[in-house]
């Protein structure tokens, strides 16, 4: 795990997450999560664990990209952090989805992993 940005674990983890997502690197994506992570993506069900996360990202089209917007993090203590990010997922077909992403991070050794991941889709009022 990287030890960059020790005072800003959310930016550091999201930077690695975005690179792995954009590169469709499912093993790298899964390794960003704790072994028992809770994950709520676009689907209706909450999943748990690295293997489930790997399967989720394996099903994402490899041409889809994540664009990070505003990121706001906070520290809970020396081993926990969290925060929110605005993310827009896009692909060349014109598909786009803007979301709020909330994360809880856990320090493992000298690095940080995602303990809880939750996506909330932003839907414009008509």
Better-predicted residue by pLDDT, 53 or 8: 53
Distance of CA 67 to the CA centre of its chain: 12
Token pair of 8 as six digits: 């800003």
Whether 39 and 46 have beta carbons less than 8 Å apart is answered as yes
Whether 77 and 54 have beta carbons less than 8 Å apart is answered as no
pTM of the model: 0.89
Q: Is 25 exposed, middle or buried (0-12, 13-18, 19+ CB in 10 A)?
A: middle
The domain ranges of the chain are 7-119
Using pLDDT thresholds of 50, 70 and 90, give the confidence band for residue 125. low
Helix (H) or strand (E) holding 114: strand 111-121
Residue 2 has pLDDT above 80, yes or no: no
**C-alpha closest to that of 113 among 105, 121, 122:** 105
Taking only the tens place, the pLDDT of each residue in 64-108 is: 999 999 999 999 999 999 999 999 999 999 999 999 999 999 999
Please, what CATH class does the domain formed by 7-119 belong to? alpha beta
Q: Is 121 exposed, middle or buried (0-12, 13-18, 19+ CB in 10 A)?
A: exposed
Better-predicted residue by pLDDT, 2 or 18: 18
Collect contacts of 42-49 with beta carbons under 8 A, ≥24 apart: 42/97, 42/119, 42/121
């Amino acid at each position: 795990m990287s030890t960059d940005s020790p005072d800003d674990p959310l930016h550091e983890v999201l930077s690695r997450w975005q690179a792995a997502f954009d590169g469709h690197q499912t093993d790298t994506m899964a390794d960003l999560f704790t072994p028992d992570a809770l994950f709520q993506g676009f689907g209706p069900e909450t999943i748990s664990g690295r293997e489930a996360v790997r399967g989720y990202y394996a099903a994402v089209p490899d041409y889809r990209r994540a664009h990070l917007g505003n990121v706001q993090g906070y520290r809970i203590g020396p081993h926990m952090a969290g925060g929110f990010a605005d993310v827009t997922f896009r692909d060349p077909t014109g598909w786009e989805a803007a979301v709020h992403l909330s994360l809880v991070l856990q320090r493992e050794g000298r690095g940080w992993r995602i303990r809880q991941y939750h996506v909330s889709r932003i839907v414009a009022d008509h």
